[in-house]
Amino acid sequence: MIAYQTVEKEAIAEFAEKRSRFIGCAKPVKTEEEAVAFINSVKSKNWNATHNVYAYSIREGQVKRYSDDGEPQGTAGIPVLDVIVKSGVVDTAVVVTRYFGGILLGAGGLVRAYSHGASIALEQARVITMRACLMAELCCDYSQYGRLSALIPESGGTVDHADFTDCVKISFHMSDEDMRAFDQKLADATSGQSKAEITGEKFFKFL
């Protein structure tokens, strides 16, 4: 099964450290262009901040980028990227904004602060698993609909929608492994009258 982890939603979390205000922002992104657009958006909202440190990891091409945005080299961008990598997430961008409070934190303090800002942002954005699933559809009689709409989730799949015409067309998605077992269950439930047709493949959130 092909799967990866990312964040579910855009989120913000903040904390204060020796009067400096740190704001961590995380967002799911698919491309570098989306990551850069998100970073620029955060910078625009926090145009008067002392620093807008960022890092992102894109699954396609295994792209990883970071910026210290004026903080001492190695104390900001790399710690943020390190949190992303150690969390196992991709297709994710994180910006940690700092409003300087007048007290220097030192190199170790900066690493800890930016790491914490990234961690709480990811926590709020919620790490989820995405897995590759087969998209499929099947047609059945109205009398079979109740049983088959229950059989799909029982077999590890998810019903996406159903069209009711002269028959019922059920669209659903399921992992490749589950689909192989489902084919036999479907044949047994319908005495071979109904068969699932694969229509594509897509990543879906795995609960």
The SS3 assignment for 47 reads: coil
Bridging pattern class, strands 11-17 and 3-7: unpaired
pLDDT of residue 1: 59
pLDDT of residue 206: 78
CATH number of 3-125: 3.30.230.30
**Domain(s) of CATH 3.30.70.240: residues in the chain:** 131-206
pLDDT of residue 191: 87
Instruction: Confirm or reject CATH 3.90.1150.10 for domain 131-206, answering yes or no.
Output: no
Q: What is the dihedral of CA 166, 171, 176, 180, to 10 degrees?
A: -30
DSSP 75: S
φ/ψ of residue 53, rounded to 5: -80, 140
> What pTM value is reported for the model?
0.84
Question: Mind listing the pLDDT tens digit of every residue in the chain (207 residues)?
Answer: 589 999 999 999 999 999 999 999 999 999 999 999 999 999 999 999 999 999 999 999 999 999 999 999 999 999 999 999 999 999 999 999 999 999 999 999 999 999 999 999 999 999 999 999 999 999 999 999 999 999 999 999 999 999 999 999 999 999 998 998 999 999 999 888 889 999 999 999 876
Element (H, E) at 108: helix 106-125
Is residue 117 within 8 Å of 15, Cβ to Cβ? Answer: yes
Residue 128, sorted as left (phi over 0), alpha (psi -120 to 50) or beta, turns out to be beta
**Domain(s) of CATH 3.30.230.30: residues in the chain:** 3-125
pLDDT of residue 207: 60
Which residue has 């028959």 as its token pair?
167
Look up residue 1 and give its amino acid: M
Is residue 190 within 8 Å of 140, Cβ to Cβ? Answer: yes
Q: Which of these, 84, 111, 109, 105, lies nearest to 25 by C-alpha position?
A: 84
